[in-house]
Amino acid sequence: MNRQSSVSAARPAHSTSPWWRGAVIYQVYPRSFLDTNGDGIGDLPGVTRRLDHIAALGVDAIWLSPFFTSPMNDFGYDVADYCDVDPIFGTLADFDALVARAHALGLKVMIDQVYAHTSDRHPWFAESRQSRDNPKADWYVWADPKPEGSPPSNWQSVFGGPAWTWDARRGQYYLHNFLGSQPQLNCHLPAVQDALLDVARFWLDRGVDGFRLDALNFAMHDPALRDNPPAPEDGLPRTRPFDFQLRKYNQSNSAIPAFIERIRALTDEYGAAFTMAEVGGADALREMHLYTHGNARLNSAYGFDFLYAEALTPALVAAAQADWPARPQEGWPSWAFENHDAPRALSRWCAPQDRPAFARIKMLLLVALRGNPIIYQGEELGLTQVDIPFDLLQDPEAIANWPLTLSRDGARTPMPWQAQAPEGGFTTGQPWLPLGPENLDRAADRQADDPASLLNLTRDLVALRRANPALRLGGFEVLEAGDALLVARRQAEGQAVLCLFNLSGREQAWPNGLVVKGRVLVAVNGATPGEALPAYGALMVEEKV
């Protein structure tokens, strides 16, 4: 080991819990993972080719962002065929090969499911918009204009402007909570639910082990189409009309949990299939608990506690963990510090000169949380946000709201595999987004050969979590959450682990009166039990119980 971090040998873990409880999940954004045909866009064969990299991290599962047939107006979250692979990513045979290889490596496979909306290129919508009396006429949310011709409600879309678009063929408006090319499905309709469950069954039959359910609280609307009330001033910037409303009626309908129970009943037919909801918005915590309550709804949900936070503080961590107490019938949380929609955490949470040390403590904290840690591709390399100039932007939200909305493209840049290869070994062509010179210096091949690298530390930390039941399954008891220090104890199956983090860039005194007796499992950035904690110093100690 090196002077910046040390990890002790792990002890075997024995648990009868389902595979997903406490699992570490690795998110793959296929478009930016590896391109095998030289078109500058990552593909499914590229994911398969680099599964060894993921398996070497020791994670339990991969989550694949959308690869379905799509016009790519929202990069796959506008689905034109739920049951096929877009040609830019490959074929169904390529997907089957990916699943087979992942399973051979001991990796579970999760995929996105987008049930709130489709692309306007989907055959369902093409049929629905033809008339008011065809078999799929009610599969989407259509409404007549107000008497003076304006939209039926004041609802606003996430990406800017009204959430209603006029369609002359039907002489009605259709609802879209995101892009105008993403019409809202009418999930109140049992036939639509049946069709979506058939989609889930299609992928489960191909060997998929679980689903991440995108924008789930947008899946149903208020059938009465009542206007949303204005949002009170909260001091936060408002860059879109969407920000001026309390989204009371265009999302979060009370009928969603009944649909969720149908989804869970289906996945239960497949044994260990895992379901994880994405839920955002001002009422997200209540909805996440609602959607995961008991044994008949979803297994887990992940919110946005960390994804857009300006700083990583003890108070933030303590509050997020307190929101998910270990109580009967309580849902199980999942956590991400960054993803394909949120800025890279190292670019948000620390000064450039502190990034090497901060990356180590950040990864240690992620694997220390109670729940499922989600590592976004490249996070194990310490990738940072790339500044994408306007003329190279691909993100429709950033283009529409330039320059006030931070581009999601900066976190979607290609993976750097080889430091000395053209385009970092990602492609032999022109990459769809630039890699960024800083990230090229953090290439996987360069880190694989460096015992002190973040990549190798991540492997050690994931192995440590897997082997210690307190870290994988235990509660999270906060002992101190001050301005800089976070002290917590995790306990399960007769094991207790004390976790100490100095989340500041300044040395902090050892907590007064805290006596540590036991084996040091891991220490980063020079931390030593009983001594002042260096800047971004952290350690875990297995206590005697």
Catalytic residues: 214, 269
Q: Which helix (H) or strand (E) holds 539?
A: strand 538-543
- Give the contacts of 414 (CB within 8 A, at least 6 positions apart): 32, 33, 35, 42, 423, 424, 426, 427, 431, 432, 433, 435
What's the CA gap between 272 and 108, in Å, rounded? Answer: 10
CA angle 98, 102, 108 (to 5 degrees): 115
Per DSSP, 406 falls in state: P
Q: Are 244 and 278 in contact (CB under 8 A)?
A: no
What's the CA gap between 405 and 343, in Å, rounded? Answer: 11
Instruction: Look at strands 495-502 and 518-524 and give their pairing.
Output: unpaired
- Whole-angstrom CA distances from 284 to 65, 323, 515 are 21, 11, 39
**Dihedral over Cα of 171, 176, 180, 182: its sign:** negative
Both structure tokens of 105: 């490596």
- Give the contacts of 272 (CB within 8 A, at least 6 positions apart): 18, 19, 20, 209
E runs forming strands in 56-190: 61-64, 68-69, 81-85, 108-113, 142-143, 164-167, 172-175
Q: Are 156 and 180 in contact (CB under 8 A)?
A: no
Residue type, 399: I
Residues present in the chain in total = 545
Instruction: Look at strands 518-524 and 5-7 and give their pairing.
Output: antiparallel
Q: At what angle do helices 256-268 and 190-205 cross, to 10 degrees?
A: 30
Per DSSP, 332 falls in state: E
- Give the contacts of 150 (CB within 8 A, at least 6 positions apart): none
- Whole-angstrom CA distances from 251 to 111, 193, 223, 237, 299 are 23, 17, 11, 22, 21
Tally: H helices and E strands in the chain: 15, 19
E runs forming strands in 182-285: 210-213, 274-278
What's the CA gap between 269 and 176, in Å, rounded? Answer: 33
What's the CA gap between 509 and 539, in Å, rounded? Answer: 14
